[in-house]
Amino acid sequence: MGYRYEIRFSGAGGQGLILISIILAEAVGIYEGKFVSQTQSYGAEAWGGSSKAEVIISDEEIDYPEVMNLDLLLAMNQKSCDAYYRDLRQGGILIVDSTFVHQVPTPRAFSIPFTHIAREELKQEKSANIVALGALTQLISIVSPKSIEAAVLARVPKGTEKMNRAALKAGIRAARQAKKARKEIEIVPEISEEELRDAY
C-alpha cells in the first residue's frame, strides 16, 4: 500500500509560496526520487493578492494531483489560515507565521515568526519563505535538509546562496525551538476534575 502526503503553502501574493513549493517538489522528486506533483490555481475565487500552492508526494505515480486530505498547512498570513484550516485532516500539521497570524485555531499549531526572523536575522524580509522551508524539514520527515538545500541552491539567483543557506539554518533552529516548546507544554499533566476539586 503506497503513501500519499499532501502539503499546502498559503499566504499573500509576493510571499514566495510558489517558489518554495517548486523547491520542495524538486527536492523530493529529483533528489529523493519520489513521485511529486506541484500545482497552483488562480481564478475568480481567489481573493485579492492571495497565493496558494500545493505539493503532493507519493511512492506511486500520482493520478489525482489535487488535495483530498490535507496533511500539512503552512499559513503565512491570517486570511489563509482562516480560509484553509478547515481543509486540514484530523491530526494534520498546522504551521503559521506568527508575525502575521495572531488568531491560531489550535494550540497544537507550530507558531514561528518566519518573517520576523527573516527581517531581524537575515535583514531580508523576503527570505521568510526559505526560513519556513528550513523549518519544514524539522517538522515532517518527508524530506531531508540536505535535499532541500540542494534544491534551494539550484533555484535561487547566483550570489544569494550564502543568504539562502543562512535562511534555511535559521528556520531549522526556530523549528527545533518550537518543537521543544511544544513538548514542554505537553508534559504539563492535564488536571482531572477530581484534582481540580481538591485544589480548592
The rounded distance, in Å, linking the Cα atoms of 118 and 166 is 10
Q: Is 8 left (phi over 0), alpha (psi -120 to 50) or beta?
A: beta
Cell matching residue 27: 527536492
- The nearer residue to its own copies, 46 or 181, going by C-beta atoms, is 46
- Report, in Å, the least distance between residue 162 CB and its own copies: 18
- The nearer residue to its own copies, 45 or 184, going by C-beta atoms, is 45
The rounded distance, in Å, linking the Cα atoms of 129 and 120 is 14
Cell matching residue 29: 522528486
110: which DSSP letter?
E
- Report, in Å, the least distance between residue 41 CB and its own copies: 4
- Report, in Å, the least distance between residue 43 CB and its own copies: 4
Sign for the CA dihedral angle at 75, 78, 79, 81 comes to positive
- The nearer residue to its own copies, 29 or 171, going by C-beta atoms, is 29
- The nearer residue to its own copies, 5 or 110, going by C-beta atoms, is 5
Point out which residues bind its own copies (CB under 8 A).
Answer: 18, 22, 25-26, 28-30, 33-46, 61-66, 157
The rounded distance, in Å, linking the Cα atoms of 81 and 83 is 6
- Report, in Å, the least distance between residue 25 CB and its own copies: 6
- The nearer residue to its own copies, 99 or 127, going by C-beta atoms, is 127
- Report, in Å, the least distance between residue 64 CB and its own copies: 7
Looking at residue 4, its amino acid is R
